A and B are shown apart, each in its own frame.
Chain A
Amino acid sequence: MGQVEDTRVANMTDHEVHLEATAQHRSVAAGGTDADRAVVFETRDLEVFYGDFRAVRDVSLDIVEHEITAFIGPSGCGKTTVLRCFDRMNDLIESARVEGTILYHGVDLYGSNVDAVEVRRRIGMVFQKPNPFPKSIYDNLAFGPKLGGVKKKSELDDIVESSLRASALWDEVKDRLKSSALGLSGGQQQRLCIARCVAVKPDVILMDEPCSALDPIATARIEELMQELAKEYTIVIVTHNMQQAARVSDRTAFFTTDVNEESDRRTGVLVEFNSTSKMFSNPDDSRTEQYVTGRFG
């Protein structure tokens, strides 16, 4: 199994070296061993149904704070479905039903008293295709804080600037904050969406294949950004790109599909959840090893 690790190291680019260094720096800075860090999400036996169809099952994993956790696996195995459970976005789909438990800092996320709107204020999401509002850059960023009651212009200005700095976009747009966000390039728009997320000061940032619509250079910039953001936030990312998961994440969850022979429907299932280094060098499950070494998927 060691040959997987050797191949990986030999093929690393400068970008990847840089990322790994940041990751190590980050874990040292955050202090202590894994055991000292709080668990943000605790998932036990999570299952999601769309009507009668069970889309994903048997998901039990822990998301640790200030880490980047990646969900990988082939298409249609429920990675995005599970991600969307964490900020209760599946509520927007009428037929969706969640069973099992998700604890957020020890509190049942789907408890009867819990307000989904408050959940989404704390747990932000960046989507696959950048979706800036058809407003100015400034208004895009100010939208969230205004919802939270921030009214004073000076406060809003500060928030806009700090969010743009946090997503490495400030220098590029500081002179045209009032121009339309739709005039930015794809990569810039995605960084804008990240900034928009950051502007509401969330606890967790969920990213659903954030780079799949971007070119490699824009992708590299966002990967570096993720590393920086992880110092302040907890990040969970769904990605199709296995190498990306290997580059940026601390922990990885591998999903696959399970064909039900009678109904011929595919249900997603969590196969393995481990630290990234272990996942890509010495995985526990043979299916994981097959995927990671590219024999399928």
Chain B
Amino acid sequence: MTATLDTADTPSIDLTTNPSRRRKDTAARWFFRLGALTTMVVTLLIIVTLLADAWEFLSKHADTDDGLGALTEIGWFPRRGLYDISTLVVGTLIVTGIAMLVAVPLGLGAAVYLAEYARPKVRRIIKPIVEVLAGIPSVVLGYFAIAVINPELVVRVFSSANRAFTLAAAGIGVGILTIPIIASVAEDALRAVPLSLREASYGLGAERLQTTFRVVFPGAISGIVAALILGVSRAIGETMVVAIAAGAVGGGLFRLTPLEPGQTTTAAMAALGFGSDQVAGDNLAFQSLYFVGLLLFFMTLLLNVLSDWLVNRLREVY
């Protein structure tokens, strides 16, 4: 059958979209674009507000008598004009350190067991339970720290510890919150190591122990480091457990011992923002809040970027 094209009679083919459908499509596209933009706006707002007030704090502080020297006094007592950042930093380090002491062995141990040793049935039951641990609200864990961990654990072991509030109890509480993150990311990293490597190891006559620790673990190392970094980031940013269990509302002395009450950067911010240090408006204490917040934001940002980069490196290798 031959087809002839009679250009005089055939109507021109219209390949453009129906205008009303096109309008709806464009409108929808803009709606979604707006959603994406909003997330950028949130970040910008955070950075701007933190920077603006932090800058004001720093510049106003430079005008006072001691200048920036007041940033390193005997302690953090914002209402009295004492802004010893190092008190807060030391407090954060102690709490984070204790938290990692708890979370790293338990989290990595759980990850190695689930990835290398557990049978599928066991895994299916245990994994959700570990995820439940991740869902516990931090205030509840704060209560647990002050009501159970401190009296039953810390004070029992260290009789010189403060009976009511210790950084140690807070640290253990934060550690419990951090276990699921480390366990989950580390387990994913271990499972990403391909089966062929394990077979090669077994084929050479290795036992499970040797295969796990000499082949699989090193093979997943960047993912495991990423898990640890995420854990640190979480521990640094935790507020409520410390606010409840470490006790130093109103201020904290510069201290190196975890067996006494103390203060961290995050809990200091919480204390400034409500209740006992309730401040509003333009005074210095309020702005110190933003300065501390800025430090915190960039610290955790750095850690999270690092951990992302490490996970991507792991993906590239395999």
Q: Do chains A and B touch in the complex (CB under 8 A)?
A: yes
List residues of chain A with CB under 8 Å of any chain B CB: 87, 89, 92, 94, 117-122, 124-125, 127, 129, 131-135, 143-144, 147-148, 182, 193, 196-197, 200
Docked complex Cα distance between A95 and B313 (Å): 35
Closest 7 A/B residue pairs (Cβ): A121-B205, A131-B196, A125-B203, A120-B205, A144-B204, A131-B200, A117-B207
Minimum CB–CB distance for A248 against chain B, Å: 21
Docked complex Cα distance between A37 and B203 (Å): 26
Minimum CB–CB distance for B200 against chain A, Å: 4
Q: Does B202 touch A at the CB level, under 8 Å?
A: yes
Q: Are B204 and A121 in contact (CB under 8 A)?
A: yes
With A133-B219, A135-B218, A143-B214: A89-B197 Cβ-Cβ less than 8 Å? no
Q: Which of the residues B119, B210, B218 comes within 8 Å of A147, measured between beta carbons?
A: B210
Q: Are B200 and A133 in contact (CB under 8 A)?
A: yes
Q: Does B215 touch A at the CB level, under 8 Å?
A: yes
Minimum CB–CB distance for B192 against chain A, Å: 12
Q: Are A147 and B317 in contact (CB under 8 A)?
A: no
Docked complex Cα distance between A261 and B204 (Å): 40
Q: Which of the residues A89, A119, A134 comes within 8 Å of B219, measured between beta carbons?
A: A134
Q: Does B206 touch A at the CB level, under 8 Å?
A: yes
Q: Which of the residues A118, A124, A129, A135 comes within 8 Å of B203, measured between beta carbons?
A: A124
Q: Does B152 touch A at the CB level, under 8 Å?
A: no
Q: Does B199 touch A at the CB level, under 8 Å?
A: yes
Q: Are B199 and A131 in contact (CB under 8 A)?
A: yes
List residues of chain B with CB under 8 Å of any chain A CB: 119, 194, 196-197, 199-207, 210, 214-215, 218-219, 317
CB contacts (< 8 Å) of A196 on chain B: these are 200, 204
Q: Are B204 and A129 in contact (CB under 8 A)?
A: no
Minimum CB–CB distance for A188 against chain B, Å: 16
Minimum CB–CB distance for B205 against chain A, Å: 3
CB contacts (< 8 Å) of A92 on chain B: these are 199, 202
Residue of A nearest to B219 (CB): A134
CB contacts (< 8 Å) of B203 on chain A: these are 87, 89, 120, 124-125, 127, 197
Most interface-central of A118, A134, A135, A197 (chain B CB within 10 A)? A134
Docked complex Cα distance between A124 and B202 (Å): 9
Q: Are A144 and B205 in contact (CB under 8 A)?
A: yes
Q: Which of the residues A133, A147, A182 comes within 8 Å of B205, measured between beta carbons?
A: A147
Q: Are B215 and A147 in contact (CB under 8 A)?
A: no
Q: Are A127 and B196 in contact (CB under 8 A)?
A: yes
CB contacts (< 8 Å) of A135 on chain B: these are 218
Q: Are A89 and B199 in contact (CB under 8 A)?
A: yes
CB contacts (< 8 Å) of B197 on chain A: these are 131, 133-134
Q: Are A143 and B199 in contact (CB under 8 A)?
A: no
CB contacts (< 8 Å) of A122 on chain B: these are 205
Residue of A nearest to B317 (CB): A134
Minimum CB–CB distance for B91 against chain A, Å: 40
Q: Are A147 and B206 in contact (CB under 8 A)?
A: yes
Q: Are B200 and A127 in contact (CB under 8 A)?
A: yes
With A133-B219, A135-B218: A147-B196 Cβ-Cβ less than 8 Å? no
Q: List 4 other contacts, CB 8 Å, given A133-B197, A133-B219.
A: A127-B203, A132-B200, A133-B215, A148-B205
Q: Are A143 and B205 in contact (CB under 8 A)?
A: no
Most interface-central of A118, A120, A124, A200 (chain B CB within 10 A)? A120
29 A-B pairs, CB-CB below 8 angstroms? A87-B203, A92-B199, A94-B119, A117-B205, A117-B206, A118-B205, A120-B202, A120-B203, A120-B204, A120-B205, A120-B206, A124-B203, A124-B204, A127-B199, A127-B203, A131-B194, A131-B199, A133-B197, A133-B215, A133-B219, A134-B197, A143-B201, A143-B206, A143-B214, A143-B215, A144-B204, A144-B206, A147-B205, A196-B204
